[in-house]
Each structure stands twice: as C-alpha cells, then as structure tokens.
Amino acid sequence: RGESSPMTKRTKDADVEDTPRRRARNHVDIPPGTELPLELGTKVHCRWRGKDEFYQAKVIERRPGRGKSDEDYEYYVHYEQFNRRMDSWVSLGEMDLSTLVVVEKTEDGKKKKDAHEPDAEHAEFDPKALQEHEEFTKVRNILQIELGKHEMDTWYFSPFPPEYNDCQKLYFCEYTLQFFKRKEQLQRHLKKNEMRHPPGDEIYRKGKLSFFEIDGKKHKLFCQNLCYLAKLFLDHKTLYYDVDLFLFYVLMECDERGYHIVGYFSKEKCSEEGYNLACILTLPPYQRKGYGKLLISFSYELSKIEGKVGTPERPLSDLGLVSYRGYWTRELLKILGDESKQFLSIKDLSEMTMIKTEDIISTLQHLGLLAYTKGAYVICASPELIEKHFKAAGSGGVPCDPEAIIWSPYDPERARDL
C-alpha cells in the first residue's frame, strides 16, 4: 500500500483564533467546520496502538459510543500502511483531526466509490466480487479467542453463525473446536467431553508432535469449526463451507493434558489441478518456530508417497510465496549441491522432489541459476553460488521424518464403500 502522507499541522491564524473550537468529552480539539460523526471513507491520522506515532487511516465503519453525543462515536479504521489485521476501533481522542481529509463527493452529493482492483492475495476475485468481499468482511466480528492456555487477538472477519455476532470473545475447546460465548459453557463442555485429541487418524508421531488426518465428510462439525477458527487469521482465502471434499491434516503438540492444535493444512481429495495443499495456517502462538515449514514439508512427503507432483493452490499470499520459495530453494539446492548427482534436468528434479516443474523453474530463475539457450533451460550453478543461496535460505524449520509417516493415499472407491 502507498505510504501515508506526511502530517501537516494547521497553523493558528487569526481566523482560527476568532472561531470557538468545540471540545470533545475526551479533551480533543475539534477544528471548526468539522462535521460529526465522521463520514465513512474519511482519512485522518490516528494514534498507532497507544504509542506517540500517528499514521494515516481510513474510516471504514462507525458506531455510537457510550454517550449520546456525536462526539462519542467510535470509528473502525484501516491504517493504510499496514495489513488489514491491524484495523481497530478508535475514538476521536486517538485522531489528529487537523489532518482530516473528508470523503470526496460527486456533483449529486453522493460519495465517490473507491476503485477495487484485486491484489496478489485476492486474485481469485474480480473487482465487483472484491468490493463485495471487502464490504462483507471489513469489520472484525470476533476480537479475541481463548484456545487452551492461549488467548489470541484475531486478525480478520470470520462468518460465524449470526447468534455470535454480538460476542467479541469466543472460548474454543481445543479438542473438539466447539466454541462458546462464555467460559462457564466451555468448562461444562470439558467436563462432559473425555476426548483429549482430535477426531480422525494419527498418521505421524515424532517426539511430542503428531499429525492427524481428518476427513471433512466423516467429521464435518470439527472441520467446519476449524475453518471458522482459521478464517480469523486468514484474509486471502474464501471459507469452504462444503468440507466434504477436503482432507485436513492437523499438526498437534502433545503433553500430559492431551493434544493441542498448532496448525493445519487442507487439501482436496481429488484435485484436477494437481494441488497438494489448499489452505495452510500456523496459529499465532506457534508462529516463527518452524512449524509452518513442517506443514509444507509434510504436504510434499505425502505427495511423494502418492507418487504425484504437487503444488499449492493459488493465489499465494506474499508471506505464503516467501515460505514456499524457501522450501523449494532448500530442497533443490540440497540436490544440486550433491556432487554425486550431476547432469540433472528439471524433470529429474521434479521426480525427485515432487515439486511442480513450473515452481522449479520460477525458483531457479529467482536465484539466478537458470539460463534459457537454444530452446531449452540450462541449470548454471557453481558450488560457491549454491552454498551462498543455501545459507541465505535459512533454516528448514522443524524437520519432517518420512519414516514416521504411516499413511495410505485417499481412495475414492474405498471411501464410497465405507
């Protein structure tokens, strides 16, 4: 997004001094001529998370405050320099009203509409669909959740059933993913529920970590609740209501209290496009610990067992592309750096890693290791350059042990008979 414009303070000239200034209840000077409540679309510099930093923000929703005055309104703002997950409710006291830029109107007095052009993360939407998506999801409905021992601030809107719209905090059972409005309800549920692990089949165990494969058709409620939970932290994916068509691979951390969800990825049971992953999420308390890399690595280990080349579903977010490119880089350079494996083609690399040829080509081009001569791609990689890129690619995260996987690929015919 574009940078915010520099803050410009109004000078106190004679005209301003002669005009009485209204004062909001939170002791904010309101410039003369300011119409309250502020219009949706208004731009103004807002305080950043209680600090003495101000950034340009856009008002995208408003609501009456505790008082009855127009000065008591609260505003849901989007900070234009930051991701939507940083959007928040603010009062006039957190705004520098001297930087106010009112929304432009057409000749007939109507507000001008913003252009909605899909970005890389929303490439699946056309401009009209993107506008509808942003309008529907513009305000976070659930601000915080409790899951096991963790409390998490949410990032995005999630389409929970209407009866939860007035609830700012939800309490999740970490074993069934059922959610409740009050902690007392969760505690009663936990007393009745003796299961301390997710449904489905445990297909991997290494130390304290396990993967469970969960069929969306067999365990619909759990998978739907998982989607509701995931959408609180994902913006660029649409929510799959029809979970019957998907398998969910849930990464769990085990201790004496039971199994605790770390993250997951989903994949279509039968993907015509060859996708080996549809949606991926590491929950905030477990991020930056290498678990996201483990999820990606595990998806490719399953592809190797299937004997099918795989690729993640598009579009990839910016962070998703960085994560995948890191995985592809490390896997390819491990092979290219092996002196016993010389004269490999891109097809050979694909068969060894189950990475799609297009992803291999884009990764090697990004690294500057690929040349196109006489109608064919040629890999040009000196040992020194490979070592340099391998170090730059960073850690591979939590390692995946293929020997610990006990799994058979999904068989539609067998599933139909069950």
Residue 30 token pair: 């309101």
Q: Which residues pair with 150 in a beta bridge?
A: 147
Q: How far apart are CA 113 and CA 207, in angstroms?
A: 55
Residue 109 token pair: 């007095």
Residue 155 token pair: 């990032």
Max CA-CA distance within the chain?
Answer: 85
| Residue 231, helix vs strand vs coil | helix
CB contact at 8 A, 308 and 301:
no
Nearest to 25 by CA among 85, 81, 65: 65
- CB burial of 145-163 (b: ≥16 within 10 Å; e: otherwise) equals bbbbeeebebbbbbebeee
- Alpha-helical runs (H) found in 8-102: 14-18
Nearest to 172 by CA among 159, 160, 181, 163: 181
Nearest to 75 by CA among 1, 139, 11: 139
Q: How far apart are CA 12 and CA 18, in angstroms?
A: 10
Tokens 């209680």 appear where? Answer: 50
- 94, 213, 301, 313: which one is catalytic? 313
- Other Cβ atoms less than 10 A from the Cβ of 264: the count is 25
Does 313 participate in catalysis according to the annotation?
A: yes
Cis amide leading into 315 (omega within 30) = yes
Q: Which residues pair with 96 in a beta bridge?
A: 45
Q: How far apart are CA 276 and CA 305, in angstroms?
A: 12
How, if at all, do strands 88-91 and 74-79 pair? antiparallel
Name all contacts of 240-244 with Cβ < 8 Å and 24+ positions apart: 240/266, 240/278, 240/279, 243/216, 243/217, 244/216, 244/217, 244/220
Catalytic positions: 313
